Structure 1
Amino acid sequence: MHPTGTPIGSPVGSPVSGPTELPRYTYPGGPPAASAAAGSAAAAATGVGLSDPQERAATARPGRRRTGLVVGGVAAALLLGGGTVFAVQQLSGAGAQPADVLPGDAYGYVRLDIDPSAGQKIAAVRFLGKLPQVRDTLTGDDPRQKLWDLVAQDAADSCVSAVRYDTDIAPWLGDRAGVAVRPGGTEDKPNVALAVQVRDETRAKEVLGKLFACDKDGADIETKDGYVLVMPPGTGASTMAAVAKGTLATNSTFTGDMAALGEQGVVSAWFDMTNGAQQLQDLGAGALGTPGTPGTSTAAAQGRVAAALRFDPSFVELAGVVRGAKAVNAAPGDTSQLIDLPDDTAAALHVSGADRAIDSAWPVLSEQLKNLSGMTGGDVIGEIEKELDVTLPDDLKVLLGRSFTLSLPQQDLRVADSFVVGGKIVSSDSARAGDLVDRIDQAMGGILTHSVDGGTVYLATDPAYVDAVKKGGALGDSDTFKAALGDVSRANGVLFVDLDRIESAYLGDLEGETRAVVESLRAVGGSTTVTGPGEASFSLRVVGN
């Protein structure tokens, strides 16, 4: 099931047919023939693609190594697809996936697919139709050719720029690509494999061989089952040997995680934290602020993450699952304190079950605070306890309580002096929670008003808003809330932003197409839900008007 309770793989509100069997995968099927025909007609009318080559070109780094240019160019061209890709391609989404040819010992995997399931194609067309500026930008004869021209122009060597897209690339380039990261790599030589779907293995290998010959390092290139595999020089033999032992598609852990994820949409990814955290540190990932930074240990990294970027007629969503992680002692989510916020709520943050989750999370959190103490030369935990006269983690559990909710009413955010925010805490010791709010407020300079009613503490920067939060409303019944979050009744963490209610704060700084695109967006919603011991789901949606 989708985190919101909707069967994964079907656009919300769309009928769902039986699953279509694919090699080693089961993808949800698309809508019935009539809906598919309607979606195809809509695609033909809008000419929607998946990306903007000019935007990607603007972020390209001139002078980068040719190997990176070629790999990036092929993969990005694949992602871009034709300007009318949804209209001219069949709605099958069938055929081998990159995981069918990439090694099963990989701990990381990213896949791009411009030929996803029928339901995804139709949903993408309908959603992008809500963003006319985006749709118009993506319309074109073949953005892949435009991108290739930019790549060729950026290449210093004439042997790259001499390759013709229409005669040398287009005839064999397929619709899918995937990258697998294997154990044993180093920062200088990562152990990766790029699989690009091709229509002509012989021709593809020939052209790619010439392209990578332009680089002094070159690359190992092999073919398998309709794909070309590109690997760093010297790693091809070991990678293909690993493929012979078993692919990702035969890795039961991987397939189980992807089955739990469901519809894999246009982009999907998988990462085995248990086996990959230390590997990433060896690759120098600490530079990105991940394992490998000072005081950070990879020993606590457990489990796997699978995620997908997929479309619904109303929104685009990044959805995912976490499996096999360290079990978190979190109570089942309860968002009743979120959904009854005032009707004029522009943004809200809700955390449920934190008092129980802290019990299992504190050892790791306290260790991180101790590491921070080593960097600052002070006792961070001790200083917090002394400054606020609290005992950690006990008072933190009281403060966050069974549920902790913050809300921002609709207002003119450009007037800083009248900024209003409020919230409520449902705690096992509401009197103590109220006292803690007082202490924190004093440390902040005395800006809060609060009242305790039974087991709930109500607080706000404006006394009138304390009463409004206490009175409540029906935020959860609004169409915008439902579109952004769906069913989050069991969620442990929720973020909601009604963009239409706050856009006056930033629209004045935007012009032209940028302003039009922003105005086309309606809301953002994110949620996380603990679904079982060591398992969770998450979702981040952007809703169109």
Structure 2
Amino acid sequence: MSDDFSDQFATDELVIGGAGAPRRSRRRWIGGGAIGLLAIGGGAAAWAATSFFSQGTQPAEALPDSTIGYVSVDLDPSGAQKIAALKLARKFPAFKDKVGLQTGDDIRKWIFGKAADGNCDLDFDKQVAPWLGSRAAVAAVGTDHPIPVVVVQTTDAGKAEAGVKALLSCGGTSADSAGVGWTINGDWIVFAETTEKAKEVVKETEKGSLADDPDFQSWTDKAGDSGILTAYAAPAAGQVLAQELGKATDGGSTFGSASPIDPFGMLGSCPGLSDPSAATQRMKGQLADFRGAAATLRFGADGVELEMVGDTQAFGGSAATSTPSGTPVVSTLPADTAVGIGVSFPQDWTAQLTKNLQNVCGEGTDPKALFAPLSRATGLDLPDDLPKLLGDSAALALGPGIDVEGMVNSGDPSTLPVALKLRGEKDTIDGVAAKLRQTLGAPAGALEPVAGDGAVAIGLDKAYAEEVAKSGGLGSSDEFRSVVPHGDKSASVVYVSVNALDKAVKALSGGDDEIAANLAPLRAIGLSGWSEDGDGHAVFKVSLD
């Protein structure tokens, strides 16, 4: 410390604490010091938040905008996700016993050890960790003749040169004869079939990267917050797939009159499916209009979710993702529902169903002819009876505490807590249900509609049907919302409360304590879909206790 600085410090100290110091000087110093501390503290907090939550550079920056397919993995995502992922995984005994990763462990080292499997004598800490990054991607680049490309992040380009050669030489082969071409471009190692192709990818990326491509940005933004894994399909991917479909077409019937996946013989009566060439031509036309898609796998404090978004219009749309005309009836099931499967229908959804069938089978296809086998089996007039029976929203409910073993042993399903809840006119629903009861030979009292709060329920157990018919609070329950985050606008929902299926889970485990212990952390599972601005959205989520 210099004498000048010491003198200044001493003077300042006298000004702060001296009896004769002016109050204005003291206020100015104290105020300035407070602002300075806040600025320093705020800057440190901002840096910490940025470091903890930011994703950093991504592989899309190392690929050209001619990339048509892309899947990236990030082993070092935002700190919150990384910690959440390992904490959630460690709730499962199998993960702790067989994987054993801790929140502070290097996942790259674990993966390297598994991949090498004793066939590579490289020291990861000394020969790999100093240059290997935490992000990578596989991609298909180009539209005329797409080539496979892999990009891997490096933290030290100089050390990566020797490191990659050492890795490619593992197993006794030389790096030159490994059959892989590569080059280093900044923070990325680009692998392709040949070094020439790898360098071509770098040149194309300099003209425009995938990260800057408007379609890539739009679709990945729609897929929500970034996560561990990101996938993307460019609009051009549809055209490439259409070309490949044309090459793969061959004659012959796809489906016979009946098959294990088509017991009523409906698919065999679809000309488009029984004539692959005709179906291919229609599919090629639909793929040519494909606008793109993306998906993200991410971790949160309570579970893991896969969010997907894509163009459904190119495939004729789907009632499963259309915007519901009202609150989905699945949200009104009892709050203790163990399994809920719901669908909401837009207006004139049967016309949309007909259009979808004709997109697959051919414009001249008669829906009644296609549904004829199923109509004969059920006694219904299909597809005309579908909107009469299902109304504008329907949900299948399974009650809690179901005793699968007891039901199987007794052979009596009449007490099974299962019911179909429908939002429609009771008399209309009853008329269609009567056809079903007659065809199936149901006993008196079974499958009779029960009126409730603006809905009708049909079940094997009348008492449970009456409970389901009432307005319940499933949609607002914490467990439901933990796996169906967009319940109010989801046109299709599959919800499973693992907690409410204790007896069934024990039955499925067959008395195996290890299986039961690994199922125990599961709280609920959900799959939901909806439509927004012509795009189909879906979220698959698993929450843990």
TM-score by length of 2: 0.71
1:102 matched to 2:63? The reply is yes
Describe the shift of the 1:277–1:391 C-alpha distance in structure 2 as closer, same or farther (beyond 3 A): farther
Report if aligned partners of 1:220, 1:236 keep a CA contact under 8 Å in 2. Answer: yes
Q: Name the counterpart of 1:167.
A: 126
Report if aligned partners of 1:451, 1:459 keep a CA contact under 8 Å in 2. Answer: yes
Q: Name the counterpart of 2:135.
A: 176
Q: Name the counterpart of 1:82.
A: none
Mapped partners of 1:282, 1:497: distance in 2 = 38
Q: Per-residue displacement from partner, 1:52-96 (whole Å, max 9, x unpaired)?
A: xxxxxxxxxxxxxxxxxxxxxxxxxxxxxxxxxxxxx95253532
Q: Name the counterpart of 2:352.
A: 360
1:196 matched to 2:152? The reply is yes
Q: Name the counterpart of 2:468.
A: 469
**Which structure 2 residue ranges, 5 or more long, are not aligned?**
1-42, 250-260, 262-272
Report if aligned partners of 2:295, 2:307 keep a CA contact under 8 Å in 1. Answer: yes
1:504 matched to 2:468? The reply is no
Cα offset for 1:184? 4.9
State which of 166, 186, 205 in structure 2 corresponds to 1:243. 205
Report if aligned partners of 2:328, 2:490 keep a CA contact under 8 Å in 1. Answer: no
Equivalent runs, 1:111-126 vs 2, <5 Å: 111-124=72-85
For 1:343, the aligned partner's letter is: A
Q: Per-residue displacement from partner, 1:280-337 (whole Å, max 9, x unpaired)?
A: 8739999xx9xx9954524324332221111221121112323574466844353452
Q: Name the counterpart of 1:540.
A: 540
Q: Per-residue displacement from partner, 1:362-400 (whole Å, max 9, x unpaired)?
A: 3233454679x9xxxx96434334555655543333333
**Which structure 1 residue ranges, 5 or more long, are not aligned?**
1-31, 40-88, 156-160
Mapped partners of 1:324, 1:344: distance in 2 = 34
Describe the shift of the 1:299–1:400 C-alpha distance in structure 2 as closer, same or farther (beyond 3 A): farther
Describe the shift of the 1:366–1:147 C-alpha distance in structure 2 as closer, same or farther (beyond 3 A): same
SS in structure 1 at match of 2:72? strand
Q: Name the counterpart of 1:260.
A: 222
State which of 293, 301, 316 in structure 2 corresponds to 1:313. 301
Greater CA drift, 262-271 or 323-332: 323-332
State which of 412, 421, 424 in structure 1 corresponds to 2:403. 412
TM-score by length of 1: 0.71
Equivalent runs, 1:224-239 vs 2, <5 Å: 224-233=185-194, 235-239=197-201
Describe the shift of the 1:317–1:220 C-alpha distance in structure 2 as closer, same or farther (beyond 3 A): same
Equivalent runs, 1:137-152 vs 2, <5 Å: 137-139=99-101, 142-152=106-116
Mapped partners of 2:52, 2:493: distance in 1 = 35
Describe the shift of the 1:485–1:148 C-alpha distance in structure 2 as closer, same or farther (beyond 3 A): same
Mapped partners of 2:484, 2:434: distance in 1 = 33
Cα offset for 1:205? 3.6
Report if aligned partners of 1:93, 1:116 keep a CA contact under 8 Å in 2. Answer: yes
Cα offset for 1:133? 5.7
Q: Per-residue displacement from partner, 1:180-215 (whole Å, max 9, x unpaired)?
A: 2124587xxx61211111112233244334544638
Q: Name the counterpart of 1:339.
A: 331
Mapped partners of 2:374, 2:380: distance in 1 = 8
Report if aligned partners of 1:355, 1:398 keep a CA contact under 8 Å in 2. Answer: no
Q: How well do the aligned residues superpose, as a CA RMSD in angstroms?
A: 4.0
Mapped partners of 2:199, 2:328: distance in 1 = 57
1:460 matched to 2:416? The reply is no
Q: Name the counterpart of 2:10.
A: none
Equivalent runs, 1:258-297 vs 2, <5 Å: 258-272=220-234, 275-276=237-238, 278-279=240-241, 282=244, 294=276, 295=279, 297=283
1:218 matched to 2:215? The reply is no
SS in structure 1 at match of 2:206? helix
Mapped partners of 2:178, 2:387: distance in 1 = 56
SS in structure 2 at match of 1:96? coil
SS in structure 1 at match of 2:285? coil
Report if aligned partners of 2:68, 2:143 keep a CA contact under 8 Å in 1. Answer: no
Report if aligned partners of 2:450, 2:465 keep a CA contact under 8 Å in 1. Answer: no
Q: Name the counterpart of 2:52.
A: 91
SS in structure 1 at match of 2:483? helix
Report if aligned partners of 2:372, 2:382 keep a CA contact under 8 Å in 1. Answer: no
Cα offset for 1:107? 1.7
Mapped partners of 1:445, 1:176: distance in 2 = 61
For 1:224, the aligned partner's letter is: N
Mapped partners of 1:219, 1:280: distance in 2 = 29
Mapped partners of 1:127, 1:163: distance in 2 = 31
Equivalent runs, 1:14-25 vs 2, <5 Å: none
Matched-pair identity in % = 27
For 2:418, the aligned partner's letter is: V
For 2:116, the aligned partner's letter is: A
SS in structure 1 at match of 2:537? strand
SS in structure 1 at match of 2:301? coil
Cα offset for 1:412? 0.9
SS in structure 1 at match of 2:417? coil
Q: Name the counterpart of 2:432.
A: 436
Report if aligned partners of 2:231, 2:296 keep a CA contact under 8 Å in 1. Answer: yes
Q: Name the counterpart of 1:79.
A: none
SS in structure 1 at match of 2:448? strand
For 2:184, the aligned partner's letter is: T
Equivalent runs, 1:119-134 vs 2, <5 Å: 119-124=80-85, 127-128=88-89, 131=92, 134=95
| Structure with a larger share of its residues in helix | 2
1:451 matched to 2:449? The reply is yes
For 1:515, the aligned partner's letter is: A
Mapped partners of 1:36, 1:358: distance in 2 = 55
SS in structure 2 at match of 1:449? coil
SS in structure 2 at match of 1:240? helix
SS in structure 2 at match of 1:242? helix
For 2:331, the aligned partner's letter is: I
Mapped partners of 2:338, 2:47: distance in 1 = 36
Mapped partners of 2:46, 2:436: distance in 1 = 56
For 1:320, the aligned partner's letter is: M
Q: Per-residue displacement from partner, 1:432-459 (whole Å, max 9, x unpaired)?
A: 4433334345555537512264974421
Describe the shift of the 1:154–1:349 C-alpha distance in structure 2 as closer, same or farther (beyond 3 A): same
Mapped partners of 1:406, 1:35: distance in 2 = 49
Report if aligned partners of 1:354, 1:401 keep a CA contact under 8 Å in 2. Answer: no
Q: Per-residue displacement from partner, 1:472-512 (whole Å, max 9, x unpaired)?
A: 43223332122222341121111111101113223342635
Report if aligned partners of 1:125, 1:313 keep a CA contact under 8 Å in 2. Answer: no
Describe the shift of the 1:182–1:285 C-alpha distance in structure 2 as closer, same or farther (beyond 3 A): farther
Describe the shift of the 1:394–1:33 C-alpha distance in structure 2 as closer, same or farther (beyond 3 A): farther
Q: Name the counterpart of 2:292.
A: 304
Greater CA drift, 403-412 or 413-422: 413-422
